[in-house]
A and B are shown apart, each in its own frame.
Chain A
Amino acid sequence: MVTAERIWEALAEIPDPELPAVSLVDLGVVREVEVERDRVRVSFTPTFLGCPAVEVMRTLMADRIRALGAQPEVEISPEGWSSDLITEDGRRKLRESGFAPPTGAAPATLVQIQTAVHRCPYCGSEDTRLENLFGPTPCRSIRYCNACRQPFEQFKTL
């Protein structure tokens, strides 16, 4: 019989469809796993409501659970995602692949973003500037490192 630990391990091997460097568990997208005999209920929350990868994530998780011989029920959690849910492991993997993990408290104004410390994931310099609040996916902004002259993607703090 499959255990919750085994399911968490399996889900931790599923790469995020838009950021394959990190897993769904690293991103904090998987919120709850409940095992009842051969039925496994997983509740998850996309980073942003408009995330186009929701159905892909759902299918990947359901397939994985089925492969372990259990009956999946994958549903969206009523709780919102927050960038605080990204694990320490997830943050390290993000940095290693050139994405700056979220930093500081969720900002309310542009000034707060402009005055907060944002470190370049490539050279570690704090001499970086905001290029665009928006980026290739809703959860990322674009910044530029003045020290190593490299643009990079910054996870929004949400």
Chain B
Amino acid sequence: MQVADTVHLPRGKAFVNPDVDLFLQLADDELMLGWRNSEWTGIAPFLEEDVAFSSIAQTEIGHARAWYELAAEELGTDADALAFDREPDEYRCSPFVELRLVPDWARTIARHWLYETADAIRIADLKASDDPSVAGLAEKIDREETYHRMHADMWAERLRDEPRFLAAVDDLWPYSLGMLRDSQREQLCERVGRDPVDAIERGEHTEDLRPLWEDMTMVRRSVPGATW
């Protein structure tokens, strides 16, 4: 691995280039969610879910890498530098993906289902992009995400009368709306069968981000500038 120059981004606000900002939002969302999903590795309520959440984590992080590569081309850096060398408040992820939900299975499934439902809306728009590299990547990601959606929908169906799951969906609903652009939110309301509420928007971070960032970047920070 080669070390690229660190790129510093504007803190807590959108990056000047709207494309780069979008790529970073997508990449940061997938990276953080991938990390959160991987926290179930070894401790999921049963073995099948251990495998499922680990595999989903791996593909989400793979998608993050692909979006980071698009941003890195514009910024003259590389995917690793964007993923690991920024300060916590330079990330553009939604607060939704930062929340540490382990060991609450009901909340985890509620987030999984809301995230995948919202993500499908976002990916459909990206597939229609004028930029062929964006549309092509979205197409590729969408095919992989189909399996995440099947898994999430199966769980939502199984838990649809479970009060703890329904309470978790209520609680996380404003967060999931905040993942999307204004113009995409009505579709989410329809798919989830809920009324719009004030969204918890991208921009501010939750308290859960810092400890995640510390874990995630620990090895990389331990030897700055190393070639791994």
Contact = CB atoms under 8 A, between A and B. Distances in A.
A and B, one complex?
yes
Contacts of A137: 55
Interface of B: 48, 51-52, 54-56, 58-63, 65-66, 133, 136, 139-141, 143-144, 146-147, 150-151, 153-154
B48 A50 contact: no
Contact of A78 (B54, B58, B62, B133): B133
Interface in A118-158: 131-138, 142, 156, 158
A48 interface: yes
A50 B58 contact: yes
Most chain B CB neighbours (cut-off 10 Å) among A107, A132, A142? A132
B151 A50 contact: no
B59 A109 contact: no
Interface of A: 48-52, 78-80, 82, 106-110, 113, 131-138, 142, 156, 158
Contacts of A48: 59, 62, 144
12 contacts: A48-B62, A49-B59, A49-B63, A50-B59, A51-B62, A80-B136, A107-B150, A113-B150, A133-B150, A134-B51, A134-B151, A135-B51
A-B pairs with the 4 shortest C-beta distances? A50-B62, A80-B140, A134-B55, A49-B62
Nearest to B52: A134
B59 A138 contact: yes
A109 B56 CA distance: 17
Nearest to B140: A80
Given A48-B62, A50-B62, A138 B144 contact: yes
